[in-house]
Structure 1
């Protein structure tokens, strides 16, 4: 996303007018972006939390634990397609839905060379009319 603002000091913010020559255009674009953001109904903290929940977590960063899974303990894992030996040629990236316990078992036994994992998204909620 191209930024329309820049921060300065502790609380300062200003419009960046470098790429927009016509007077008032940057302000109009900024107002439309602000309206689009407000239409999400989310705060900046909620957006940051969503981004964090929807990212692939490298195994080198941390292993999943039971609380990372959904109600049934399921997570998504990405592994490189090698079944046992890391010296085998990489087949392709595989994405699987598996329980945390099963993934850790396959990872620790060397059967899967897991590279990343992520919690499953929340299930859809019924809309009320």
Structure 2
């Protein structure tokens, strides 16, 4: 969700609040109300929302790479056959980043996402 308020500016000894025109706030009040309602209607905590977002979105390798030696789900280009998903990990061998199971073929991995938590039986 995009930011709905004006952030404070941190300065030596504290923070400075932005000057806000009350007329602008009044005009934006309903936008803020509906955004808050949409969040509250999910019934989720902020932590649950963050966790779901992290596990639902693919991260293009051009934007970010996973931590070294951490298993992740990857979308891989299969040269003409489309894409498929697999679990892989990124290694750093001799200062060169390489995907573990794709023989370093970094250009084949298009995007990645963290794996969900391991399943645990409820007792």
Partner of 2:63: 61
TM (normalized to structure 1)?
Answer: 0.50
User: Which SS does the other structure have where 2:33 is aligned?
Assistant: strand
TM-score (norm 2): 0.52
CA RMSD in angstroms comes to 3.6
Higher strand content, 1 or 2 = 2
- Residue in structure 1 matching 2:83, options 85, 93, 101: 93
Secondary structure, in 3 states, of the residue corresponding to 2:72? strand
* SS of residue matched to 1:117: strand
Aligned to 1:81: 78
Stretches of structure 2 lacking an aligned partner (at least 5 in a row): 1-26, 92-97
Structure 1 spans left out of the alignment, 5+ residues: 1-6, 15-29, 83-89
User: Which residue number in structure 2 is paired with residue 103 of structure 1?
Assistant: 99
Deviation at 1:117, TM superposition (A): 0.7
Aligned to 2:15: none
Alpha-carbon distance in 2 for matches of 1:52, 1:10: 29
